[in-house]
Amino acid sequence: MKLVAALVALLAVAAQAAAQNSTTPPPDILVSRHLAEAQGLDVGAVVRLATDAEGTRAREFRVAGIYEPTPDPAQLGVAPMGVRLHLPDLLELTRPVGVPAGAEYVASINVALEDPDEARAFARDVNARVPGVLARQAGEAAGSAGPFRVLERFHLAIAVVTIVAATVFLLALTIMLVDERRETVGVLRLIGLPARRVLVQILIEGLLVAAAGAAFGLVLALASEVLINTFFQWRYDTALVFVAITPDVAATCVAIAVPLGASATVVASWALLRRGGLRLARR
Amino acid sequence: MNALGFAWRSLVRQPARATLGVLGVAAVGALLLDMLMLSQGLIVSMQDLLDRGGWDVRVSAGELPRASGRMQNAGAAADEIARLPAVRSVLLVRFADARLERDGRRPLPVSFEGVAFYGDAGGTQPVNWLVLRGRDATGPGEVVVNEAIAETLGIEAGSQITLRASCVAEREALPPTRLRVTGVAEFPFEATSENTVGGSIEALARACGGNAGDDADLILVGAQDDPDVTVAAIGAILPGVYAATNADVVGRLQETGFTYFRQISTVLTTVTVSFAALLIAVLLTVSVNQRLGEVAALRALGFTRARVVKDVLSESALIVGAGGLLSLPLGLLLASGLDRILKDMPGIPASLHFFVFETQALVLHVALLAATALLAAAYPMRVVSRLPIAATLRNEVIG
Amino acid sequence: MTATPIIDARAVSRVFRMPAGPVTAVGAVSLQIQPGDHVAVRGPSGCGKSTLLHMLGCVETPTSGTLRFDGRDVSGLSDTARSLLRLRHVGFVFQRFFLLPMLTAGENVELPMSEAGLPKDQRTRRTRELLDYVGLAARADHRPSELSGGEMQRVAIARALANGPKLLLADEPTGELDEATGAQIAALLDRVNAAGTALVIVTHDPALADRARRVLTMRDGRVESERLR
């Protein structure tokens, strides 16, 4: 497929409205949607492909269909201009002059298994039986995952900073909100309720508010997910998913937000309860 | 007492919440500053990196930055380019994979950068690296190495190394070549974990067993005057290659590889400003609601609407101002940490920075924080300006 | 020649529009407050006496009728103009004091003078005089939380006198104080009035009301009777 991409750069296009009248109809190819739009190609158009700008050994092919390329995050911002040929046609087109047929090679072979769970065992088997090849599970073979692991760490760092900022604000707010109920708390203490009892009450309230807040945050995140994906898919003309709120992500957010919210309330209240009931109740 | 003095007293009255508000703004402000630095950082850094090399135009087989393939007959092409009136100097660059032999241990994979100068340098021939120690490699048996190789192998100027290089696509089993290290150099475009050896094209050819061919990965050109004129002149004599000024290369990077960082910078800038405005608005609103009686009393005493509104705005300005000041050193510290994370990305030149501090970023940071202070105070200002004095005083007595 | 009354209210009303229907808090009240007057307004809760006080102090705008302050019709004044009028010519004393807790007693007294644009040295001198006048010169640097209820009210009175108002309006000034402290405040208000400031006090306290030369009794938003001492 990388070779296909290289071919596109050297594509010499001669689009025709009707198929050529020849004894052997040209072989079929697929063109990417972006290429079709850029060159004004439709199904049935006949194009000429060559491996260099001079058009050396150019051959005619018929556009049998237009495909949507698999989105590649490593190619973000680059419109995928590609064609797909049958392997024999590709090998015939790209074979260097003087090299006999059968001496070509391919860069990689993708294998779909009946049972994907057997991928690791299958790869091990191939490596043992077929010398000169390297078989790997698809996930491990994604060499370009490196940059995305770095980006993952980058995103995590930003998330940490955001959580720290949010925690600080949350503490400030809960201190203010708890302070609003200072007199009530003071009266409760004066009539004999122990501090622990008041704290448990506050903790329950804090948990409820934090849970409601987390739920609202999730709804907001899901709405943002739709907006962000819609915008960037339009902006880059791609089917890539930029933001994905998975169940794991949602669970992690709730697991952080709820205890943080409840703890902030308890910490703010604890500071308040250290003062005497009389001091609290006094205006 | 003016509005700022009043606001200061209001904040100091509740030191815990004021401190937390300031710290929150500082954290958010730090992130905001970093995103502003990120939005142009890569571009500025790359531009600086390209310009620092002293070369104005880059010629390649394909369009940079994703050029693939080599330029054939590169020597002749470089020679033709060097003869153009718009050209000051030309450097042909060729890369090859090589392996450095190490006694008893696995060979160290390195990249061999061979260069050839075309033109009249009038003395020292320019190269594509900066010699840190020792001297540059001039002869066919001489090379310079980067710091990482020098440290790993424990070598310095005068040491000998043994290389096996391959200048063609297919694997070759070539005999080892001994080369003399004349110096340790810095290669501006090498990635963090890369090991690079530099020398003349002749040294590279020798390491490749005389099989280097006449192709090149890149031809660097120094323009006589306007780089765009140089690009046009090269295009006229060599239509099959791509010539780009440094600005063109940066422009292409902006559209492709760097676009993600600009987008995330915009998104996070928006998020942090909204977040800060929302939280400060809540802080101020709760604070104002707790003091409605005082505000009504001040209004009854003769404070105008404008005055009480100014008090709230001043409070917002103090929180955001203090937090904003604190966010500067925090932001720079955070930026250095985030920069270190992102520089782990494969293929990123070690000298490239994602976060670059510019005056423009600082000005924008201040402007956004000022807008945040204003936005955050909007609702609480409305509350105090529309406060019904008598009703509030009545409610305070009843409450 | 009769002096211009400080307050000349003719058939002033205040009607509040509520979801359940309009409520007339004050209905067609006419009265004049002369310079140096000492007036007490009494009546059951909800009779409109505080609303009347707020209208006299230009805090509330009458729904109908005319209100003149020092001969000037205030009904058409902007909010800013009314604020400035209150700042320079009217002093307010509240039941709950409403001192600013983050300022000292001295700073609370100085606040209206600062807002009126008095120079710093004049403000400092007058603040000292006023605190001395109310007997709290030694507590100038104390915050309200460090003062008793009576002391806070005395500071509030000093604040109300900061810009030398012609009229002092007090809404239940002894409402939060015990009898003895209330008597001290009442005596202080008498002194203020004796010095020439007109005084209108809304009160439930009969002892405080009896010190006034005119006592207005209100019921259902109207002045039911006026007694002169």
Q: Which of these three, A55, A78, A105, is where a domain ends?
A: A105
Lowest mean pLDDT among A68-72, B124-128, B136-140, C93-97: B124-128
B267 reaches A (C-beta below 8 A)? yes
Q: Do B294 and C54 touch (CB under 8 A)?
A: no
- Listed residue (B114, B70, B94) closest to B202, CA to CA: B114
B231 reaches A (C-beta below 8 A)? no
What does the pLDDT look like over B229-245, one tens digit per residue? 999 999 999 888 889 99
Among B301, B309, B387, most C C-beta atoms within 10 A, so best to mutate, is: B301
Mean pLDDT on B1-16: 87
Q: Do B255 and A77 touch (CB under 8 A)?
A: yes
- The residue of chain B with its CA nearest to that of A147 is B345
Q: Do A146 and B282 touch (CB under 8 A)?
A: no
Residues A223 and A134 in one domain: no
What the block records as the tokens of B10 is: 């209001």
- Predicted pLDDT at B123: 57
User: Touching A: which chains, 3+ CB pairs < 8 A?
Assistant: B
Rounded Cα gap, residues A260 and A170, in angstroms: 9
Find the domain containing A94 and state its range: 2-105
CA angle, C28 as apex, C22 and C30 as ends, to 5°? 150
- Categorize the per-residue pLDDT at B192 as very low, low, confident or very high, splitting at 50, 70 and 90: confident
Burial B287-302 (b: 16+ CB within 10 A, else e): bbeebbbbbbbbbbbb
B291 contacts A176 by C-beta, under 8 angstroms: no
Residues A94 and A215 in one domain: no
Residues A220 and A160 in one domain: yes
Which domains are delineated in chain C?
Answer: 7-228 (3.40.50.300)
Rounded Cα gap, residues C154 and C170, in angstroms: 12
B335 reaches A (C-beta below 8 A)? no
Residues A231 and A161 in one domain: yes
pLDDT value at B271 more than 90: no
Lowest mean pLDDT among A186-200, B3-17, C206-220: A186-200
Among A176, A177, A184, A270, most B C-beta atoms within 10 A, so best to mutate, is: A176
What the block records as the tokens of A199 is: 């704290």
Residues A137 and A153 in one domain: no
Q: Which residues of A touch B32 (CB under 8 A)?
A: none
Q: If you write DSSP's letter for every residue of B252-282 in order, what string do you get?
A: HHHHTTTHHHHHHHHHHHHHHHHHHHHHHHH
Instruction: Give the minimum alpha-carbon distance from A163 to chain B in angstroms, rounded to a whole number.
Output: 10
Beta pairing partners, C23? C16
Tell me the CA distances in angstroms from A186 to A174, A194, B149, one per residue in order: 17, 11, 71
Residues A149 and A277 in one domain: yes
- Predicted pLDDT at B16: 84
Tell me the CA distances in angstroms from B76 to B72, B79, B139, B181, one per residue in order: 9, 5, 22, 29
Residues A31 and A100 in one domain: yes
A171 reaches B (C-beta below 8 A)? yes
- In terms of C-beta density within 10 A (0-12 exposed, 13-18 middle, 19 or more buried), how is residue B265 classed? buried
A197 reaches B (C-beta below 8 A)? no
Closest residue to A180, CB basis, from B31, B275, B290: B290
Contacts of residue B193, defined as CB under 8 A and 6 or more positions apart, other chains included, come to: B148, B346
Q: Do B302 and C116 touch (CB under 8 A)?
A: yes
Helix (H, G, I), strand (E, B) or coil at B302: coil
Q: Do B297 and C116 touch (CB under 8 A)?
A: no
Per-residue pLDDT in tens (0 to 9) along chain A, 283 residues: 444 444 544 444 444 444 444 568 899 999 999 999 999 999 999 999 988 777 777 889 999 999 988 877 666 667 788 899 998 888 888 877 777 776 666 777 888 999 988 888 998 898 888 877 788 877 665 554 577 788 888 888 988 988 888 888 888 888 877 777 777 777 777 777 777 887 888 888 888 888 898 999 999 999 999 998 998 888 888 888 888 999 999 999 999 988 888 888 888 887 777 766 656 655 4
B290 reaches A (C-beta below 8 A)? yes
Q: Which residues of B touch A146 (CB under 8 A)?
A: 345-346
B103 reaches A (C-beta below 8 A)? no
- The residue of chain A with its CA nearest to that of B261 is A151
Residues A31 and A84 in one domain: yes
Mean of all residue pLDDT scores within chain B = 87
- Categorize the per-residue pLDDT at B261 as very low, low, confident or very high, splitting at 50, 70 and 90: confident
- Listed residue (C58, A181, C173, C51) closest to B394, CA to CA: C51
Mean pLDDT on C191-195: 93
Contacts of residue C154, defined as CB under 8 A and 6 or more positions apart, other chains included, come to: C134, C135, C136, C184, C185, C188
| Phi, psi dihedrals of residue B178, rounded to the nearest 5° | -90, 135
B41 reaches A (C-beta below 8 A)? no
pLDDT cut 70: percent of chain B above it: 94
pLDDT value at C151 more than 90: yes
Rounded Cα gap, residues B382 and B378, in angstroms: 6
Residues A68 and A11 in one domain: yes
C34 reaches B (C-beta below 8 A)? no
Beta pairing partners, B93? B115, B218
B4 reaches C (C-beta below 8 A)? no
Residues A70 and A197 in one domain: no
Instruction: Give the minimum alpha-carbon distance from C1 to chain B in angstroms, rounded to a whole number.
Output: 32
- Listed residue (B16, B36, B109, B246) closest to A169, CA to CA: B16
Rounded to 5, what percent of chain B is helix, strand, coil?
50, 20, 30
What the block records as the tokens of A49 is: 């492909």
Mean pLDDT on B51-68: 80
What the block records as the tokens of A160 is: 């940490």
- Predicted pLDDT at C2: 63
Closest residue to B24, CB basis, from A151, A169, A179: A169
- In terms of C-beta density within 10 A (0-12 exposed, 13-18 middle, 19 or more buried), how is residue A31 classed? buried
Mean pLDDT on B317-340: 94
Q: Do A76 and B16 touch (CB under 8 A)?
A: no
- Predicted pLDDT at A277: 61
Q: Do B13 and C101 touch (CB under 8 A)?
A: yes
Q: Do A150 and B28 touch (CB under 8 A)?
A: no
Rounded Cα gap, residues A18 and C76, in angstroms: 85
Instruction: Give the minimum alpha-carbon distance from B349 to chain A in angstroms, rounded to a whole number.
Output: 14
Integer-rounded Cα radius of gyration of chain C? 17
Q: Which of these three, A54, A86, A105, is where a domain ends?
A: A105
C173 contacts C153 by C-beta, under 8 angstroms: yes
- Predicted pLDDT at A6: 45
DSSP C72: E
Among B10, B274, B278, B345, most A C-beta atoms within 10 A, so best to mutate, is: B345
Contacts of residue B78, defined as CB under 8 A and 6 or more positions apart, other chains included, come to: B90, B92, B116, B118, B216, B219
Helix (H, G, I), strand (E, B) or coil at C200: strand
Mean pLDDT on C190-199: 93
Instruction: Give the minimum alpha-carbon distance from B18 to chain C in angstroms, rounded to a whole number.
Output: 14
B395 reaches C (C-beta below 8 A)? no
Question: Into how many domains does chain A fold?
Answer: 3
DSSP C2: P
Burial B211-240 (b: 16+ CB within 10 A, else e): ebeebbbbbbbbbbeebeebbebbeeebee
Q: If you write DSSP's letter for every residue of C113-163 in order, what string do you get?
A: HHHHT--HHHHHHHHHHHHHHTT-GGGTT--GGGS-HHHHHHHHHHHHTTT
Residues A52 and A180 in one domain: no
Cα torsion angle, A199, A202, A204, A209, sign: negative
Q: Do A78 and B256 touch (CB under 8 A)?
A: yes
Rounded Cα gap, residues B235 and B221, in angstroms: 13
Q: Which residues of B touch A161 (CB under 8 A)?
A: 27, 30-31, 334
Q: Do A161 and B27 touch (CB under 8 A)?
A: yes
Q: Do A179 and B290 touch (CB under 8 A)?
A: yes
Give the residue ranges of DSSP H helices in chain C: 49-56, 79-89, 105-116, 120-133, 149-160, 179-194, 206-209
Tell me the CA distances in angstroms from C189 to B217, C105, C147, C175, one per residue in order: 97, 19, 19, 14
Mean pLDDT on B365-385: 93
Q: Do B302 and C87 touch (CB under 8 A)?
A: yes
Instruction: Give the minimum alpha-carbon distance from C172 to chain B in angstroms, rounded to a whole number.
Output: 10
pLDDT value at B44 more than 50: yes
Residues A273 and A150 in one domain: yes
Q: Which residues of C touch B12 (CB under 8 A)?
A: 102
- The residue of chain B with its CA nearest to that of C161 is B301
- Listed residue (B147, B236, B222) closest to B192, CA to CA: B147
Beta pairing partners, B63? none
Q: Which residues of C touch B9 (CB under 8 A)?
A: 100, 102-103
**Range ranked top by mean pLDDT from B190-194, C165-169, C206-210:** C165-169
What the block records as the tokens of B371 is: 């807008």
- Categorize the per-residue pLDDT at B253 as very low, low, confident or very high, splitting at 50, 70 and 90: confident
Integer-rounded Cα radius of gyration of chain B? 31
B121 contacts B274 by C-beta, under 8 angstroms: no
B317 contacts B16 by C-beta, under 8 angstroms: no
Rounded Cα gap, residues C68 and C26, in angstroms: 17
- The residue of chain B with its CA nearest to that of C51 is B390
Which has the higher per-residue pLDDT, C49 or A16? Answer: C49
B297 reaches C (C-beta below 8 A)? yes
